[in-house]
Amino acid sequence: MSIESAEDEGRTPLQAAAGGSPTPLDVAAVRESLRGKRGPALWRSLDELAATPGFQNFLHREFPRQAAEWVESPDDGVSRRRFLQLSGASLALAGLTACTKQPLEHIVPYVKQPEEIVQGRPLYFATTFVLGGYGLGVLAESHQGRPTKIEGNPDHPASLGATDVFAQASVLDLYDPGRSQSITGLGRIRTWGDFVNEVAGPIRALRALGGEGIRFLTGRVTSPTLADQMKTLLAAYPKARWHRWEAGAPPYAHRAAVAAFGAPRETVYDLTKARVLFALDSDVLTRGPGSVRYARDFARGRQARGDRPAMSRLYSVESSPTNTGTLADHRLALPPVQVEALALALAAELGVAGASAPAAGSLPERAGAFVAALAKDLRANAGASAVIADGFASPAVQVLAHAINQELGNAGRTVLHLPPAEADPVDHPESIAALARDLDAGRVELLVVLDANPVYTAPADLDFGKAIQKARLRVHLGLHADETAELCQWHIPAAHPLESWSDARAFDGTASIAQPLIEPLYGGKSVHEVLAVFSDRIDATSYDVVHDYWTKRLPGPSEAAEGTFRKALHDGLVAGTATTASATTAIAGGAVAGAAAEIAGRTAAANPSWVPLMFRPDPTVDDGRFAGNAWLQELPKPLTKLTWDNALIVSPRTAERLKVGVEQVAKLTWRGREVRAPVWVQPGHADGCATLHLGYGRWRAGAVGTGTGSNAYALRTSDALAVLPGVGIVPTHGRAILASTQNHHLLESGAEEIPAATAAFASRRPVRTGTLAEFAANPNFLRSEGGPESEAREQAAMPPDQREAGMSMFPAYPYDGYKWGMAIDLSVCTGCSACVVACQAENNIPTVGKEQVLKQRAMHWLRIDRYFEGDLDDPLLHHQPVPCMQCENAPCEVVCPVAATTHSAEGLNDMVYNRCVGTRYCSNNCPYKVRRFNFLRYSNHDVPVLKMLQNPDVTVRMRGVMEKCTYCVQRINGAKIDAEVAGRTVRPGDVQTACQQACPTAAIVFGNLNDAGWEATRRRADPLNYSLLEELNTRPRTTYLAKLRNENPELAAAPAAVPEHGPGGRTT
Amino acid sequence: MNVERRPAVYGLMAEFADPDGLIRAIRESRQAGYRRLEAYTPYPIEQVSEALALPRSKMPLLVLAGGLIGLAGGYYLQYWVNLIAYPMNVGGRPMHSWPAFIVPTFEMTILCAALFAVLGMFALNGLPQPYHPVFNVPRFAAASRDRFFLLIEAADPRFDRSATAEFLRRLDAREVAQVDD
Amino acid sequence: MATPESALPVPQPYRPPVIAPGYTPGTVTDKISAVVLQRTPKWWYLAFGLSFCLMMVFLGAVTWLFLKGIGIWGVNEPVGWGFAIVNFVWWIGIGHAGTLISAILLLLRQEWRTSINRFAEAMTLFAVACAGMFPVLHLGRPWLAYWLFPYPNTMGIWPQFRSPLIWDVFAVSTYATVSLLFWYVGLIPDLATLRDRSKKRIAQILYGFGAMGWRGSAAHWHNYESAYLLLAGLATPLVISVHTVVSFDFAIGIIPGWHSTIFPPYFVAGAIYDGFAMVITLALPLRAAFGLQDFITTRHLQNMAKVMLATGLIVVYGYGIEIFFAFYSGNQYEKFMILNRITGPYHGQWLALIVCNALTPQLLWFRRVRTSPVPLWCVAMVVNVGMWLERFVIVITSLHRDFLPSSWGMYRGTVWDWATFAGTIGLFLTLLFLFIRFLPMISIAEMRAMTPGAQGSEFPEAAE
């Protein structure tokens, strides 16, 4: 990219073209016009912009012959910039593929023969997705130079081929027209050259002072290259300071580690070896840098089969409900103070030195029994258990967790305390506070904010928005012109990870390199390039920096190193960089006692009338960085099923106590700070406390994110980063409409509806559950309940030909060749929703916006049904992914008047979009309601850059046609073609559906049911296998494995499988 | 009508005030041997048709034919589409889902039969027929109100301009008019 | 010989006449044709104007619909069918009374039908016209509606004949065609009358075209009656089949509340019920407006009210049986559906439906209600509303909570739904007012035949 700066003049129009959007001045205007609009509205409005008279006028002139008259004509003030902007927009409308050239440097494709791009065949490149500083190895699918899909890298320890929602959605961020598109100085468009020249002076001056007054602010950094750059830089500027603030990351892990071990430690787990797990206020399976890997390891131990009726056991104690908690065999929802007390009680029970049982009465009595049984279980599995407390638990609790693992001998076996992957680890809250102090004291001359948004995310008490303006010169690098950019003189658009070179370490320290798949669409710069400006090699590109760093360090002479480098690129990780557990893990003396005292103190001081407020990163927009990502905004939050908003989440009892109702706006006050948020009642939330997710209420997050939800940061002070001890909650008369994708009507039609829903859930049993004990006693226990299962048994007795037909009056169609089917194991589904986003990305599924979601028109082909079971105040929660069932006797097909949906020879329920006239009869007649209809024109045809995002193998649907899950038929056919070319049939593993590929726990498997080699076929034969609404004899190809829980006999008082009352089926 | 070029005569028309007069006139004309008779009434009267001894109408046969054509055509269309032209597995149902094919077949039967009934009626009555000599008689307008007419065509072998006119007058017709061709 | 072919009933002495005494073919002709030939009354312009405006609302709603897509309606994920289908079934049902009166009562020799059949047939046509539009409008891509017809095309693909919607296409288009033919055939002699009686040249030409040179010769009447009777014979099974097929749209589906064997008879009865209600709703004002009390007598009101009462009771039986089945079947989905209907979020609509369709019509047991126009008209109006509610309850409450609790939802009609519905009422009235202004709303030829001595008194042996 060395020619980049030279190219600048010429490329500006192209950049503008990429968004179809001109200078920030106009973008601001657009934002104004977009206020209050959501999602799709954005794209339309940009189009309107391109339709401004000036532009239309321009179109009619011939370019560039008439260009001359555009140059600075004072009368109408049309400037050269305007000219470029308009020509940009015109190119945009003309179509954009010209912009998708490959980067100039050689990047190494994951598959052979990268030189030739075979038309219609994607290339896969190994790269790294970075979230919160940690790397996740991914493979990016590229069609003719357009990255369209992210998959996990099977070789990467943090991924093993799976991904999380954020990695899946990151590809939308790449093309997001709301990204900042040009370098701005004081709000005017400038070039990179301008920036370099204009900051050169100050830098030189400050360098003379040893860097006095220079401050860098980044998020967590694990990138070895960046760390190295920083090191050299700080050497050159000894008085400069490097601050870190990762708003969404667990705030206390560092503190706790230092308290426990005297030094920062990265605590990672080996769940394959753990037979008993105790998640202590932790969402280990779906949050955090290792979660994808942990989920896979955990799932391995949870899949009981007829021949192997064994499972690990998971206990969970938490205040704010988590996905991990929904899988727990025994879950206890307690307010934060009691969680701490319970941790202490457990430590005492296990005889951890220095731990004294908490004061009597500080715990409810069922907690007592819980602790006793848990302790016994842990003791029995000493060395093969794990107590997991991530950084949202208080430091004291984490210290106790470490001590308990120490005591049980888990440390070094299932629990590893490694030197942190983070470069130069610091305590982030302290770091950001220190920066704020320096700012306030006016000690900061030059502040460089790299890929962080402190003005929005910094603790409220620091009042960072005011403080930052005390720095004389402020530079911001970021994907979006966000709240921080607003207050900086210089804003530099950051290059998206898929646009630039970098590297990062995974949770276990494994380093992997991020290689760009596409030239920066909007001329973005990487962190490395901005830091280079402070070095002697001002024009170093990120490739130079990264390449040099690694080739210097990799073993062997330079060409050997070069080879290793290329191999690292190809494999997607640098071999042998995983951290080995060499660190000391002895618990510092007095740490436990200190923690115990601290907890005892808090327990004593606790005022029952207080309502603690918990802050957690949002399940879909994280710390707010994804607020502009429509996929994640519209992705139903796994537990609340809310979209486009956050809410004050409380338990039913607490709602009654506070006299607040669902969607009623409550005023939250804390030390004179005030936030208004609508209430959401969530069964399973601990009583007496509330949760407000971070990441919403942003005021500069583009047309998609701006103004959605309530800003939790406004209450989050430095001393209450995870839990705010007592928030004031005042009900107001306001009401906010929240868009939940499931059973929203139960709110409208009131509580008397709930029994109906419960009864329906209880008798229809869409989710079948049982305990390991029952299963071990009789593997067929689920079938021996009469009804359709007994029917199934009779069928088993029939001769094959009749069995095929089953209950039908006529013979079934034979499926001799391929017979595609899917089996979903409910025992291991965490509800993380990665599959939903993966499906959205793979199948060009549009987002519809909050209003349409409220009208129950969300388009996700794959939805995750969420059911509560049992007592309203302590329910079980089930996740059930529901794709198309691909019924062999499909009710939808029979009623289609134009044969737009028919059956393929392989048993797929094909949907022919261009034949569909849109009667919606098929949807009415689908008992599973998996069909989705384009009630309006949902697909965006207007913004050229978003066309680059579409998967060319999947039709983009128009208004008025029905669509639904196809089992990723494009992938199936791809695999069949390859197999045919190779002169064989499709073998197990040749084809994966998008949802299956993304699934961290391998809950979803897909395959040819005529071939015993596929896992799907094996699962179908499993005694736990059942099909949804079996009694309708639709003969679904998608089946489920019943959800098993491994109950501790001593705690068998768990909720009954199917009670008469309670909110089963209710999904508020 | 001037004396040199008198237009060809189509027949003679007698007007009656009530059905009885008409019916009696028809019977007597037939006794008198007239065969090419036509009666015009403002509404159908069975006895008139009887008196004229009109043959049985062919309508029922036509309608039957139409019905059978619709039946066979309707069913074959569906059979051909589903088993020959474009066989498809629809919801695992048999290709030859005859119960489903009954409804369209039935509707086709009714449709064709009805079309045959109406078009057949037009054909048998020679409609539409914008011009007909009887309209040349001014009084004939009353035939669509409350008057009854008997026409003896000139084509009748026993027709004689004056004798026939005399004969009709004797049937105490209110008026006898010549129908020019 | 007296052939049973004669469609025109012979007045029996012991029966009260369906036409006031003292009328001759001439006076009947004058009175009825006068309605058409006289100068246009003032109120007509007003009424027509209002209906026309309402029709323009329809135009607006449909234009917006085509521009934006059916997302402007209230339909959503569980409830894929809304007002459009409700209105479709409602209108089709209204149409049935016309065919029933003109065809079935004709075969049953109910001569009192004579004075209302023309008007009822017209109502049928206009109702079917309104109904026929909804299945097209409610398509996601209405411009492709012709794909539902079996025509050879380059793709070599055909309609899917197992779908009840295709059956609808055949049934409704056949019904529309046959009704039109039946109506027109009945009109021919009267058009001839108007041709001969109108003074204006233009009117003579236009009516002349319509009359196609009809001159009422005995031979013509001979074939004409035969054809008319056969058409009646064909229309009778047709009218039964149409609403049966409409009911299949639901009965073939597997949704609880739709998947029921009683739907065909229950729907047909409902259609007649509703249809007669609509005939009364329209006939009473017109009768007053044009002073036709001599032709549409209290006997007509009585009989129509009795038909309503009878069919109404059949419908109520249908409701009862539906509930009975739900519990007798032991099918949990059926049971839930009924309970949800009665106690669920739409219990209000269900209650209103019971009041309108089951309770109110019981007033018709009283002779005084049957014979006095105003109360009768009110009852009929209530039934019109009730039958619309019935279709609403069947379509929406069955869909909004089907098998999986996770995908339950709610439905609410938007302003566009209402505008479209109101608009079709405008269309219906517009056509109706044009009809009563320019065509005889009572069959003149048939009324002539009803006058005393019309068949000739002299030869009684031939008369029976």
The residue type found at A367 is A
Cβ-contact A429, A373 below 8 angstroms: no
Distance CA A146, CA A156 (A): 23
Q: In what order do the strands lie in the sheet with B9-16?
A: B37-40, B148-153, B9-16, B175-180
Q: How far is CA A267 from the centre of its chain?
A: 21
CB–CB of B154/B50 below 8 Å? no
Q: Count the alpha carbons within 13 Å of A914 in the hemisphere toward its beta carbon.
A: 5
- Assess contact for A399 and A259: CB atoms under 8 A: yes
Kindly list the distances between the CA atom of residue A1004 and the CA atoms of A286, A1000, A1007, A1039, C33, in Å, as whole numbers in the listed order.
16, 9, 10, 10, 77
CATH of C24-148+159-452, one of 1.20.1630.10, 3.50.50.60, 3.30.1490.20, 3.30.565.10: 1.20.1630.10
The beta strands (E) that lie in C135-207 are given as none
Question: Are the beta carbons of C212 and B103 separated by less than 8 Å?
Answer: no
**Nearest alpha carbon to residue A215 among A515, A500, A459, A431:** A431
Residue with tokens 């021996």: A784
Is 90 exceeded by the pLDDT of residue A92?
no
- Please judge whether C456 and B54 are an interchain contact, meaning their C-beta atoms are less than 8 angstroms apart: no
**Of C69, C144, C410, which is closest to A959 when you measure between CB atoms?**
C69
Lookup result for tokens 């990204």 = A179
Q: Which residues contact A997 (CB under 8 A, 6 or more apart)?
A: A151, A152, A161, A162, A838
Distance between CA B46 and CA C423 in Å, rounded? 47
Q: Which CATH architecture has domain B9-56+131-180?
A: 2-Layer Sandwich (3.30)
Q: Are C227 and B41 within 8 A, CB to CB?
A: no
CA A595, CA A593: separation in Å to the nearest integer? 5
Question: What pLDDT sits at residue C457?
Answer: 58
| Nearest alpha carbon to residue A860 among A946, A931, A925, A957 | A931
Residues A1028, C147: C-beta atoms closer than 8 Å: no
Alpha carbon distance A319, A689 (integer Å): 8
What is the model's pLDDT at position A104? 61
pLDDT, one tens digit per residue, over C358-378 is 999 999 999 998 988 899 999
Could you read off the pLDDT of A627-646 as tens digits, one per residue? 999 999 999 999 999 999 99
Domain ranges, ordered by start, for chain B: 9-56+131-180, 59-124
Which of A354-368, A527-541, A827-841, B16-30 has the largest mean confidence? A827-841
Nearest-CB residue to B88 (from A808, A887, A902): A902
**What are residue C178's phi and psi, to 5 degrees?**
-65, -40
Residue A936: half-sphere exposure toward Cβ, Cα within 13 Å: 21
Q: Is C242 exposed, middle or buried (0-12, 13-18, 19+ CB in 10 A)?
A: buried
pLDDT at site A761: 75
Is residue A2 less than 8 Å (CB to CB) from chain B?
no
Burial of C1 (0-12, 13-18, 19+ CB in 10 A): exposed
State whether residue A933 is helix, strand or coil. strand
For B131-161, how does the pLDDT look when each residue is reduced to its tens digit (9 = 90+)?
888 888 888 888 888 888 888 888 888 888 8
Q: To the nearest whole number, what is the mean pLDDT of chain B?
A: 87
How many whole angstroms separate alpha carbon C127 and alpha carbon C427? 9
Rounded CA-CA distance A497/C400 in Å is 45
Q: Which range, A745-754, A759-768, A980-989, is most confident? A: A980-989
Q: What is the pLDDT of residues C163-181, one digit of tens each?
A: 999 999 999 999 999 999 9
Subunits close to A (at least 3 CB pairs below 8 A): B, C
Q: What is the mean pLDDT of residues A80-97?
A: 48
pLDDT in tens, A264-305: 888 999 999 899 999 999 999 999 899 999 999 999 999 887
* Residue closest to C278 by CA, chosen among C185, C386, C440: C386
Q: Residue A146: helix, strand or coil by DSSP? A: strand
Beta-carbon contacts of C128 under 8 Å, excluding residues fewer than 6 positions away, are C91, C92, C95, C172, C175, C176, C179
**What φ, ψ does residue A191 adopt, rounded to 5°?**
-105, 165
List the single residue in B with minimal CA-CA distance to C210.
B128
Q: What's the confidence (pLDDT) of residue A643? A: 93
From C165, C400, C404, residue closest to A919, measured CB to CB:
C165
Residues C161, B101: C-beta atoms closer than 8 Å:
yes
DSSP C439: S
Check the CA dihedral A386-A387-A393-A397 and report its sign: negative
Q: What are phi and psi of A1017, to 5 degrees?
A: -65, -40
Does the pLDDT of residue A970 top 90, yes or no? Answer: yes
In this predicted structure, the answer to whether residue A258 has a pLDDT above a threshold of 80 is yes
Within 10 angstroms of residue A151's Cβ, the number of other Cβ atoms is: 24
pLDDT at C86: 95
Mean pLDDT of A846-872: 90
**Residues 6 or more apart whose Cβ sits within 8 Å of residue A133:** A219, A220, A221, A222, A223, A246, A249, A289, A422, A504
- For A686, which DSSP code? P
Q: Are C72 and C64 in contact (CB under 8 A)?
A: yes
Task: Report the pLDDT averaged over residues A917-927.
Answer: 94
Rounded Cα gap, residues C105 and C232, in angstroms: 9
Ranges of each domain in chain C: 24-148+159-452
Helices (H) and strands (E) counted in chain C, each on its own, are: 18, 0
Across A101-110, A472-481, C243-252, least confident range: A101-110
Average pLDDT on A179-190 reads 90
> C134 — alpha (psi -120 to 50), left (phi > 0) or beta?
alpha
Whole-prediction pTM value?
0.86
pLDDT tens, position by position, C70-121: 999 999 989 999 999 999 999 999 988 888 888 888 888 777 778 788 888 8
C360 DSSP assignment: G
A783-803 average pLDDT score: 52
| Residues contacting A955, CB < 8 A, separation 6+ | A844, A913, A914
For A302, phi and psi rounded to 5 degrees?
A: -115, 0
Whether A647 shows a pLDDT value over 70: the answer reads: yes
Q: Which of B90, B96, B101 to mutate to test the interface with A (most CBs of A within 10 A)?
A: B90
| Alpha-carbon gap, residue A697 to C180, rounded angstroms | 63
- Residue C45 Cα distances to B10, C49, C433, angstroms: 47, 6, 9
Does A897 contact C77 at a Cβ distance shorter than 8 Å? Answer: no
The whole-chain average pLDDT of chain A stands at 83
Query: What are phi and psi for residue C38, nearest 5 degrees?
Result: -70, 175
Q: What pLDDT score does A1053 carry?
A: 57
Q: What is the DSSP string of C66-131?
A: HHH-GGGSS--SS----HHHHHHHHHHHHHHHHHIIIIIHHHTT-GGGHHHHHHHHHHHHHHHHHH
CA distance B87 to chain A (A): 11
Q: In this model, does residue A114 exceed pLDDT 80?
A: no
Q: What CA–CA distance (Å, rounded) separates C435 from C432?
A: 5
Nearest to B90 among A811, A903, A905 (CB): A903
pLDDT category of residue A23 using cuts at 50, 70 and 90: very low
Q: Is the pLDDT of residue A22 over 70?
A: no
Segment B102-127 shows an average pLDDT of 93
What pLDDT, in 10s, does the model give residues A206-244? 888 888 889 999 999 999 999 999 999 999 999 999 999
pLDDT score of A25: 34
Are B92 and A888 a contacting pair at CB < 8 A?
Answer: yes
What is the β-pairing status of strands A214-218 and A276-280?
Answer: unpaired
> Cα–Cα distance between C284 and C300 in angstroms, integer?
11
Number of residues in chain C = 464
pLDDT of B5: 56
- Which H helix or E strand runs over A153? none
What's the mean pLDDT in C339-343?
Answer: 89
Higher pLDDT, A153 or B177: A153
pLDDT at C3: 43
Give me the pLDDT at residue A847, please: 92
Question: Which range is least confidently modeled, A118-127, A1054-1063, C292-301?
Answer: A1054-1063
Total residues found in chain B within this entry: 181
Q: Which residues in chain A are closer than 8 Å to B93, comparing Cβ atoms?
A: 810, 889, 894
Mean pLDDT is lowest, of A3-7, B120-124, C400-404, for A3-7
Helix then strand then coil, % of chain B, to nearest 5: 55, 15, 35
Q: How high does pLDDT run on average in chain C?
A: 87
Q: Choose between A425 and C15: higher pLDDT.
A: A425
Paired residues of A745 in beta bridges:
none
pLDDT of residue A123: 86
Residues 6+ apart with CB under 8 A from A540: A528, A529, A532
Which residue, among A48, A57, A49, A47, has the nearest Cα to A78 in the 3D structure?
Answer: A57
Structure tokens at A260: 């426990």
pLDDT at position A103: 54
Phi then psi for A338, rounded to 5 degrees?
-70, -30
Q: Does the beta carbon of C153 lie under 8 angstroms from any beta carbon of chain B?
A: no
Confidence class for position C213, pLDDT limits 50, 70, 90? confident
> Which of A467-476, A893-902, C22-31 shows the lowest mean pLDDT across its residues?
C22-31
For residue A139, report the phi and psi dihedrals to the nearest 5 degrees: -110, 130
- Best of C155, C222, C241, C244 to disrupt the B interface by mutation (most B CBs within 10 Å)? C222
Cβ <8 Å between A894 and B93: yes
Q: Whose CA is closest to C195, among C203, C185, C187? A: C203
Sign, Cα dihedral of A91, A94, A95, A98: negative
What's the longest Cα–Cα distance across chain B? 86
What was the pLDDT predicted at C101? 82
- Confidence at residue C445, expressed as pLDDT on a 0 to 100 scale: 86
